[in-house]
C-alpha cells in the first residue's frame, strides 16, 4: 500500500503571509505618521497643491514654483489617495504600508519563481520583511515605497513574456518600468536592464528580439520623455539639473560603504577593515549572478533559474547610475542620503542571495550545500536580532519633523503664531512641517542679486528671517544675511530677525508640561542645510 504524499503548498503562500504581516508591522511602527524630511516637503506640498487645484508644483513665499527637479508620479499618487478625504501625509502612510507589503510579496515571488523553489520564496520574503533598512526607509514620506514595488513588478511581468512570448505581459512590464522611472529618474535603469535581457534571448530570431526590446523600451521611456518635454516647454528646463564634474571624495563614500556592509554584517563587526571585504564580496556575488544567468539563458532560455538576468543587470547598473549622478549632476547626495539611495540595491542583493543559495545549494556537494544553508540562516539571525529594536524605536516617536517632541516644542508653537507670509530661512522643511508656513531659502553665495531681493521683499511685506542653529557654509555669512535687521525674538532653537519697528512675535506657552527642552539643530536623521528648489 502506497503512502500518500502531503500536498505541497504554492510558492505564493509564505510571501503573501509575510506581506500581510508587513502591513501590520508598518502600521504598528508609525502611530505618529510617516517620517517627514529630505524630499518630503516637495511630495507633500505638490500633492496638496494638486488637491487644491493649484497645479503640479508648490508654493513658496515668492509664489508658485512648477515641479521639475523631481519626477511627478509619487505626488500624483498621494493626491489621488487624498481625493478620498485624507491629507497627503496620511495618504503617504497608507501608500507606504501598501508599497512595503508589495515589495515583500513581489520580492518573494521573484526569488521563488527564479529558483523554482518555495524555500527561495520563503527566504527572500523573510529577509525583506526583517530588513531594518527597508522598513526604516519605507516609513518615510518618500518615493521608495512606490519605486520598489513598481520595479519588482516589472521584473516579475517580464518573466512570462520570456517564457510564453506574451506581448501583454511585455507591455505591462514596460508600463511598470516606465512608472518606476516617473517615480524616480534612476528607474530608467530598470528599463535598460529589461531591454538588454530581451535583446540577448537565444531562442528567438534577431528581428523578434530587437522588436520586443524596442517595444519594452518605448513603453518604459516614452512617459519620461514626455515629462521632460513638458518641463522644457513650460519652464525651459527638463530636470532643473546642470551637468558638471564633481567626483565624490572618500568622505562621500564612507557612509555608503558602511551601509552596504551593514546589510551582511552584525553591527559590532561593521568596521572599516571588514567593510571593504563585504563590498568586494557583494560585487563578486552580483557579477557571478550576471555571468551565470547569461550562460544559462543562452544555453537554456526556458530554464527558470536564468530569469533573474534583469535583476542582476539592475544590481550592477543601479550603483553605476548613482555614482554617475553624484559625479556629474547632484554633488553631495551620497553622504546624507546613502541608505535611502541604496535601498533598491539592497532589495536586489537579498533576492539574488536567496536564489543563488537555493539553486547552488541543490547542485553542489553536501559541503557546499551546508555552507549555503549556514550562511543564509546566519543572515536571517542577524536580521531577526535587529528588527524588534527598530520597531520599538519607530513606535516611540515620529521620524524627522513628524516627531511629537518637535511638534510640541516651544519653537514650533512660537513660529505658528507668525502673521507674515514673507519668511526667509535656512530650513524650509522645518517651517513647513513644524509651523505650516511656506518660506524661501536665504541667499547662497551663488545667488544672483539674492541678498538685495530678499531685503526688498522683507521691507515690502514686513517679512522676517528665521535662522535655525548655525548657518552652514552653503549660505552667505550670518552677518551679511542679517545686516540692518533687528532680533525680534530669540527662541530656544531659532532666532527671528526683522526690520526695526516690525511686528513682534508673541511666544505662547507650550501645551506640554513641563515644556520640551530646546531642539538640537539640525534635527538628527535629517541632512544639513536645505534644498533650494
Cis amide bond preceding 283, omega within 30: no
Helix 188-199 and helix 144-164, axial crossing angle in degrees, nearest 10: 10
- Separation CA 453–CA 466 (nearest Å): 16
Q: Which three cell numbers stand for residue 239?
A: 530636470
Task: Specify the residue for cell string 487624498.
Answer: 82
Q: Which three cell numbers stand for residue 110?
A: 521573484
Closest CA to 422 of 449, 442, 448, 396: 442
Closest CA to 190 of 339, 310, 324: 310
Helix 272-299 and helix 250-264, axial crossing angle in degrees, nearest 10: 70
With contact defined as beta carbons under 8 Å apart, do 104 and 19 qualify? yes
pLDDT at 338: 67
User: What DSSP line would sit under 314-380, residue for residue?
Assistant: HHHHHHHHHHHHHHHT-TT-HHHHHHHHHHHHHHHHHHHHHHHHHHHHHHS-HHHHHHHHHHHHHHH
pLDDT at 466: 95
pTM, 2 dp: 0.88
- Separation CA 337–CA 42 (nearest Å): 16
User: What DSSP line would sit under 230-268, residue for residue?
Assistant: HHHHHHS-SSS---------HHHHHHHHHHHHHHHS-GG
- Separation CA 39–CA 530 (nearest Å): 10
Q: Which long-range contacts (CB under 8 A, 24 or more apart) does 58-64 make?
A: 58/438, 59/438, 60/428, 60/438, 60/439, 60/440, 61/421, 61/422, 61/423, 61/424, 61/438, 61/439, 61/440, 61/457, 61/463, 62/440, 62/457
Beta pairing partners, 464:
423
Encode 438-463 in three state secondary structure: CCEECCCCCCCCHHHHHHHHHHHHCC
Task: Specify the residue for cell string 528648489.
Answer: 533
With contact defined as beta carbons under 8 Å apart, do 328 and 244 qualify? yes
- Separation CA 113–CA 284 (nearest Å): 23
Q: Indicate the SS3 state at residue 63.
A: strand
The residues, ordered by sequence, that sit 6+ positions from 515 with a Cβ below 8 Å of its Cβ are 410, 509
Separation of first and last alpha carbons in the chain: 76
With contact defined as beta carbons under 8 Å apart, do 340 and 99 qualify? no
Closest CA to 13 of 139, 95, 172, 125: 125
- Separation CA 358–CA 108 (nearest Å): 13
Local confidence pLDDT in tens for the 533 residues of the chain: 445 444 567 889 999 999 999 999 999 999 999 999 878 999 999 999 999 998 899 887 778 888 888 899 999 999 999 999 999 999 999 999 999 999 999 999 999 988 888 989 999 999 999 999 999 999 999 999 999 999 999 999 987 777 777 788 899 999 999 999 999 999 999 999 999 888 877 556 667 788 888 999 999 999 999 999 988 888 777 777 777 777 877 777 888 888 888 888 888 888 878 888 888 888 888 888 888 777 776 666 555 555 678 888 999 999 999 888 888 877 667 655 667 889 999 999 999 988 888 877 776 666 666 777 787 888 889 899 999 999 999 999 999 999 988 899 999 999 998 888 899 999 999 999 999 999 998 988 877 568 888 999 999 888 999 999 888 888 888 999 998 899 999 998 899 999 875 444 544 444 444 444 444 444 544 443 333 33
H or E, element range at 43: helix 40-51
Q: CA 252, 258, 261, 263 torsion: positive or negative?
A: negative
Alpha helices in 116-249 (DSSP H): 118-130, 132-138, 144-164, 167-183, 188-199, 206-235
Q: Which three cell numbers stand for residue 195?
A: 531591454
Q: Which three cell numbers stand for residue 263?
A: 546589510
Q: What are the pLDDT digits (tens) for 170-219?
A: 999 999 999 999 999 999 999 999 998 888 775 566 677 888 889 999 99
pLDDT at 369: 66
Amino acid at each position: 500500500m502506497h503512502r500518500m504524499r502531503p500536498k505541497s503548498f504554492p510558492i505564493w503562500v509564505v510571501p503573501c503571509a509575510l506581506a500581510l504581516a508587513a502591513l501590520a508591522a508598518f502600521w504598528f511602527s508609525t502611530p505618529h505618521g510617516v517620517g517627514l524630511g529630505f524630499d518630503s516637503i516637495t511630495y507633500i506640498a505638490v500633492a496638496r497643491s494638486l488637491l487644491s487645484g493649484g497645479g503640479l508644483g508648490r508654493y513658496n513665499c515668492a509664489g508658485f514654483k512648477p515641479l521639475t527637479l523631481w519626477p511627478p508620479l509619487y505626488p500624483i499618487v498621494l493626491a489621488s489617495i487624498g481625493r478620498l478625504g485624507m491629507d497627503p501625509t496620511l495618504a503617504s502612510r497608507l501608500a507606504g504600508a501598501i508599497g512595503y507589503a508589495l515589495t515583500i510579496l513581489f520580492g518573494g515571488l521573484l526569488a521563488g519563481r527564479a529558483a523554482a523553489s518555495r524555500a527561495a520564496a520563503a527566504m527572500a520574503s523573510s529577509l525583506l520583511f526583517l530588513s531594518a533598512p527597508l522598513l526604516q526607509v519605507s516609513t518615510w514620506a518618500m518615493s521608495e515605497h512606490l519605486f520598489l514595488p513598481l520595479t519588482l513588478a516589472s521584473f516579475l511581468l517580464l518573466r512570462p513574456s520570456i517564457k510564453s512570448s506574451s506581448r501583454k505581459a511585455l507591455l505591462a512590464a514596460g508600463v511598470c518600468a516606465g512608472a518606476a522611472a516617473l517615480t524616480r529618474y534612476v528607474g530608467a535603469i530598470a528599463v535598460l536592464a529589461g531591454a538588454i535581457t530581451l535583446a540577448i534571448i537565444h531562442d528567438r530570431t534577431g528581428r523578434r528580439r530587437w522588436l520586443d526590446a524596442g517595444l519594452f523600451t518605448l513603453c518604459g521611456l516614452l512617459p519620461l520623455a514626455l515629462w521632460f518635454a513638458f518641463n522644457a516647454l513650460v519652464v525651459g528646463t527638463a530636470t532643473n539639473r546642470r551637468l558638471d564634474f564633481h567626483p565624490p571624495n572618500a568622505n562621500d563614500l564612507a557612509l555608503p560603504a558602511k551601509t552596504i556592509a551593514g546589510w551582511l554584517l552584525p553591527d559590532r563587526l561593521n568596521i572599516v577593515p571588514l567593510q571593504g571585504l563585504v563590498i568586494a564580496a557583494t560585487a563578486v556575488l552580483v557579477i557571478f549572478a550576471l555571468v551565470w544567468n547569461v550562460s544559462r539563458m543562452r544555453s537554456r532560455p526556458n530554464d527558470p533559474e536564468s530569469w533573474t538576468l534583469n535583476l542582476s543587470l539592475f544590481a550592477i547598473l543601479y550603483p553605476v547610475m548613482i555614482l554617475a549622478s553624484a559625479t556629474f549632476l547632484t554633488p553631495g547626495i551620497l553622504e546624507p542620503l546613502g541608505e535611502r539611495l541604496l535601498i533598491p540595491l539592497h532589495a536586489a542583493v537579498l533576492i539574488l542571495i536567496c536564489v543563488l543559495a537555493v539553486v547552488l545549494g541543490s547542485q553542489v556537494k553536501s559541503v557546499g550545500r551546508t555552507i549555503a544553508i549556514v550562511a543564509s540562516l546566519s543572515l536571517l539571525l542577524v536580521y531577526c536580532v535587529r528588527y524588534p529594536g527598530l520597531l520599538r524605536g519607530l513606535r516611540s516617536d515620529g521620524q524627522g519633523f513628524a516627531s511629537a517632541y518637535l511638534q510640541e516644542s516651544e519653537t514650533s508653537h512660537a513660529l505658528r503664531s507668525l502673521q507674515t507670509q514673507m519668511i526667509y530661512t535656512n530650513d524650509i522643511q522645518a517651517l513647513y512641517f513644524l509651523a505650516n508656513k511656506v518660506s524661501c531659502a536665504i541667499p547662497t553665495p551663488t545667488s544672483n542679486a539674492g541678498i538685495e531681493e530678499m531685503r526688498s521683499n522683507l521691507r515690502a511685506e514686513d517679512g522676517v528671517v528665521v535662522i535655525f542653529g548655525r548657518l552652514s557654509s552653503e549660505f552667505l555669512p550670518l552677518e551679511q544675511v542679517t545686516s540692518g535687521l533687528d532680533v525680534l525674538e530669540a527662541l530656544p532653537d531659532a532666532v527671528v530677525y526683522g526690520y526695526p519697528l516690525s511686528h513682534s512675535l508673541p511666544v505662547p506657552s507650550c501645551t506640554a508640561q513641563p515644556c520640551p527642552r530646546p531642539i538640537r539643530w539640525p534635527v538628527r536623521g535629517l541632512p544639513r542645510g536645505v534644498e533650494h528648489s
